[in-house]
Amino acid sequence: MLVSLIIPCYNEEGSLPILYEALCAVRTSESTEERHFEFIFINDGSRDKTSSIIKELSEKDPDVKYVFFSRNFGKEAAMYAGMQKAKGDYVAILDADMQDPPSLIPDMIKVLDSGEYDIVAARRVTRKGEPKIRSFFARRFYKLINRMCDVEIADGARDFRLMKREVVDAILSLSERQRFSKGIFAWVGFRTKWVEHENVERVAGETKWSFWKLFKYAIDGIVAFTTAPLRLATFSGFGFACAGFIYLIYYFIRAIILRIYNEVPGYPSLLCFILFIGGLILMCLGILGEYIGRTYIESKGRPIYIPSDESKD
């Protein structure tokens, strides 16, 4: 029985040696006659020494395998590549920066061994050490997406998880290009056990997520998993049409019964109305654009990542 550990790495020269130590400790304590480990490092177009560190590790350790990308394709693509390469019966994905504590893996393996669950996923119960404003928007995002989507996406859920083979195959069968794994994990279902841990700060280097990148990721997530925003146009259009109709009747009655025909005042309210509706129309067009744009990108059918020729089997 093989356990594959997938590690997406983007400029992680500082963290990799520490992570590798921790992975070796897990391997030493958990390896048995039947249980073996493989470590799959995905080098997502790093510009520092990450690639040479990975190559060095693979030379002295036959359990280390890797895929190198021809440029930075993002963590989503890296996780996909890792899952494609993984041959294990159990497959785990963990960050290179030790924010997904490898020390949890032995317990996760035990849970899957018990046969009651197909996935063990980690979840942060605190967001300690994270900028306040980031936590605030993250919380709002999870509220919003869960209200709009059919699948439940847990707040604080990380990509850190150990999965059985069936789950990995199910995830790989979703071949969409614009991947939002938190949604995909929830969408494929299966019996999931959550293990909770405190937020851990990264051991070295810096986070690759700026606020703006996270914001775009949030929009990706919503657009990928629900078409509810499109309904906004329908509902608000209907609302405004009704309001317009009532307004019309009101003026009609005034003209017939009260004999008030023309009134110059009302210019400001008219302007406000036009601006408001104009804004709303633009917003709805923008939402439409988000979906159409994504359909366009998806329709090109480009691969999710391109391996560089340094990659080996």
Residues that bind ligand UDP (CB under 6 A): 8-10, 12, 44, 72, 74-75, 78, 95-97, 99, 202, 207-209
Stretch that binds Mg ion, among 13-21, 194-202, 210-218, 270-278 (CB under 5 A): 194-202
* Site membership for Mg ion, residue 12 (CB under 5 A): no
* Dist CA 10 CA 173 (whole Å): 25
Where does the chain show beta strands of DSSP type E? Answer: 2-9, 36-43, 64-68, 90-93, 119-124, 157-164, 192-197
Please, which residue, 51 or 99, has the CB nearer to ligand UDP?
A: 99
Q: Minimum distance between the CB of residue 90 and Mg ion, rounded to whole angstroms? A: 23
CA distance 112 to 250: 67
Stretch that binds Mg ion, among 30-38, 94-102, 164-172, 179-187 (CB under 5 A): 94-102
Our finding on whether 97 is near Mg ion (CB under 5 A) is yes
Instruction: Confirm if 106 and 6 have CB atoms less than 8 A apart.
Output: no
- Of 91, 82, 77, residue with least CA distance to 179: 77
154 or 281, CB closer to ligand UDP?
Answer: 154
Q: Which residues pair with 90 in a beta bridge?
A: 3, 164
CB of 72 to ligand UDP, least distance (A): 5
Residue number, 212 or 261, with CB nearest to ligand UDP = 212
Max CA-CA distance within the chain? 96
Residue 256, token pair as written in the block:
């017939």
**Binds 8: which of ligand UDP, Mg ion, none (CB < 5-8 Å by kind):** ligand UDP
CB of 82 to ligand UDP, least distance (A): 10
For residue 122, the cross-strand partners are 195
- Other Cβ atoms less than 10 A from the Cβ of 244: the count is 12
Helix (H) or strand (E) holding 159: strand 157-164
Q: Confirm if 117 and 193 have CB atoms less than 8 A apart.
A: yes
Which entry of Mg ion, ligand UDP, none binds 63, CB below 5 to 8 A by partner kind?
none
Indicate the residue type of 229.
P
Nearer to ligand UDP, 162 or 287 (CB): 162
36, 127, 202, 294: residue in contact with Mg ion (rule CB under 5 A): 202
CB-based contact 304:73 (threshold 8 Å): yes
Q: Which stretch binds Mg ion (CB under 5 A): 39-47, 65-73, 88-96, 231-239?
A: 88-96
Give the residue, chosen from 11, 15, 99, 181, that forms a contact with Mg ion under the rule CB under 5 A: 99
- Decide whether 9 or 149 has the Cβ nearer to Mg ion: 9
